[in-house]
Amino acid sequence: MLSLRSSTRLFCAKRLAYQRTVYSQASSDLKRVFSKIDDLKPRFIKRLKDAVAIPSVSSEPDRRNELFRMAQFIKSESEPLGVTLQQKELGLQDGVTTSKGEPIPLPPILQGTLKGSGSGKRILIYGHYDVQPANLEDGWSSDPFTLVEKPDGRLVGRGVTDDKGPVIAWINTIQAFKEAGVEIPVDLVFCIEGMEESGSEGLEDFIKQEKSKGFKGVDGICISDNYWVGIKQPVLTYGLRGVSYYSITISGPSEDLHSGLFGGTTYEPMIDLTHVLSRLVTPNGKILIPGIDEMVALLTPEESGLYDKITFTINDLKDALGNDTTIHETPKEALMSRWRYPALSIHGVEGAFSSPGAKTVIPAKVSGKFSIRTVPDIDLKKLDQLVFDHVEKSFASLNSKNKLKVELIHAGKWWVGDPNNWNFEAARKATETVWGVEPDMTREGGSIPIALTFEEELKKPVLLLPIGRGDDGAHSASEKLDTVNYIQGIKTMAAYLYYAGK
Ligand SMILES: [Zn+2]
Burial of 375 (0-12, 13-18, 19+ CB in 10 A): buried
Q: Look at residue 330 and tell me if it is in a domain.
A: no
pLDDT at position 306, please?
A: 87
- Rounded to the nearest integer, the mean pLDDT of the chain is 93
**82 and 107 co-located in one domain:** yes
If we measure between CA atoms, which residue out of 318, 368, 372, 317 comes closest to residue 347?
Answer: 368
The letter for the amino acid at 297 is A
For residue 386, give Cα distances in angstroms to 167, 232, 242.
Answer: 41, 41, 17
The letter for the amino acid at 132 is Q
**398 and 437 co-located in one domain:** no
From 130, 163, 432, 444, the catalytic residue: 130
**221 and 282 co-located in one domain:** no
**431 and 473 co-located in one domain:** yes
pLDDT at position 18, please?
A: 42
pLDDT at position 23, please?
A: 67
From 66, 187, 193, 196, the catalytic residue: 196
Is residue 378's pLDDT more than 90?
A: yes
CB 299 within 8 A of CB 333: no
392 is in an annotated binding site: no
If we measure between CA atoms, which residue out of 342, 232, 366, 355 comes closest to residue 289?
Answer: 342
For residue 441, give Cα distances in angstroms to 219, 239, 330, 346.
Answer: 21, 9, 18, 30
Element (H, E) at 396: helix 380-396
DSSP summary character for residue 124: E
Nearest-angstrom CA–CA distance, 340 and 444: 9
225 is in an annotated binding site: yes
Is residue 190's pLDDT more than 70?
A: yes
Q: Output the CA 209–ligand 1 centroid distance in Å.
A: 23
Q: Output the CA 196–ligand 1 centroid distance in Å.
A: 7
Q: In 239-329, which ranges are continuous DSSP H helix?
A: 259-262, 269-278, 301-308, 314-321
Domain termination residue (choose one: 412, 439, 470): 412
Q: Output the CA 448–ligand 1 centroid distance in Å.
A: 8
Residue 196: active-site member: yes
Per-residue pLDDT tens over the stretch 33-52: 999 999 999 999 999 999 99
**37 and 14 co-located in one domain:** yes
Mean pLDDT of 331-336: 95
275 is in an annotated binding site: no
Q: Can you tell me whether residue 338 is helix, strand or coil? A: helix
Q: Can you tell me whether residue 376 is helix, strand or coil? A: coil
Domain enclosing residue 36, as ranges: 4-240+415-500
DSSP summary character for residue 433: H
Cα 478 versus chain centre, distance = 18
Q: Can you tell me whether residue 141 is helix, strand or coil? A: coil
DSSP-assigned beta bridge partners for residue 404: 250
241 is in an annotated binding site: no
Burial 157-176 (b: 16+ CB within 10 A, else e): bbbbbbbbbbbbbbbbbbbb
Per-residue pLDDT tens over the stretch 227-254: 998 889 999 999 999 999 999 999 999 9
**255 and 211 co-located in one domain:** no
Is residue 135's pLDDT more than 60?
A: yes
Is residue 150's pLDDT more than 60?
A: yes
Of 7-11, 52-56, 70-74, 202-206, the poorest mean pLDDT is in: 7-11
CATH code assigned at 142: 3.40.630.10
Q: Crossing angle of helices 314-321/331-339, nearest 10°?
A: 60
DSSP summary character for residue 229: S
Q: Look at residue 60 and tell me if it is in a domain.
A: yes
**168 and 228 co-located in one domain:** yes
Q: Look at residue 34 and tell me if it is in a domain.
A: yes
Per-residue pLDDT tens over the stretch 415-462: 999 999 999 999 999 999 999 999 999 998 888 888 999 999 999 999
Q: Look at residue 312 and tell me if it is in a domain.
A: no
pLDDT at position 478, please?
A: 93
DSSP summary character for residue 489: H
Q: How many residues are listed for the chain in this entry?
A: 502
If we measure between CA atoms, which residue out of 449, 444, 450, 425 comes closest to residue 500?
Answer: 425
**29 and 145 co-located in one domain:** yes
Q: How many CB atoms lie within 10 A of CB 104?
A: 16
**20 and 120 co-located in one domain:** yes
258 is in an annotated binding site: yes
Q: Look at residue 332 and tell me if it is in a domain.
A: no
pLDDT at position 244, please?
A: 95
Q: Look at residue 281 and tell me if it is in a domain.
A: yes
Q: Which residues contact 326 (CB under 8 A, 6 or more apart)?
A: 314, 317, 318, 334
Of 15-24, 270-279, 388-397, 436-445, the poorest mean pLDDT is in: 15-24
pLDDT at position 442, please?
A: 93
Residue 204: active-site member: no
Q: How many CB atoms lie within 10 A of CB 101?
A: 6
Nearest-angstrom CA–CA distance, 333 and 350: 33
Q: Look at residue 336 and tell me if it is in a domain.
A: no
Q: Output the CA 195–ligand 1 centroid distance in Å.
A: 10
pLDDT at position 324, please?
A: 93
21 is in an annotated binding site: no
DSSP-assigned beta bridge partners for residue 177: none
CATH code assigned at 360: 3.30.70.360
Q: Look at residue 171 and tell me if it is in a domain.
A: yes
Of the pLDDT bands very low, low, confident and very high (cuts 50, 70, 90), residue 54 is very high
**236 and 255 co-located in one domain:** no
Domain termination residue (choose one: 377, 412, 447): 412
DSSP summary character for residue 486: H
Per-residue pLDDT tens over the stretch 8-23: 333 343 444 444 445 6
Domain termination residue (choose one: 389, 412, 435): 412
Task: Give the chain's domain count.
Answer: 2
Q: How many CB atoms lie within 10 A of CB 249?
A: 18
Mean pLDDT of 173-191: 97
Q: Output the CA 381–ligand 1 centroid distance in Å.
A: 27
**193 and 283 co-located in one domain:** no
Q: Output the CA 161–ligand 1 centroid distance in Å.
A: 8
**166 and 256 co-located in one domain:** no
Q: In 40-154, which ranges are continuous DSSP H helix?
A: 41-52, 64-78
CB 412 within 8 A of CB 242: yes
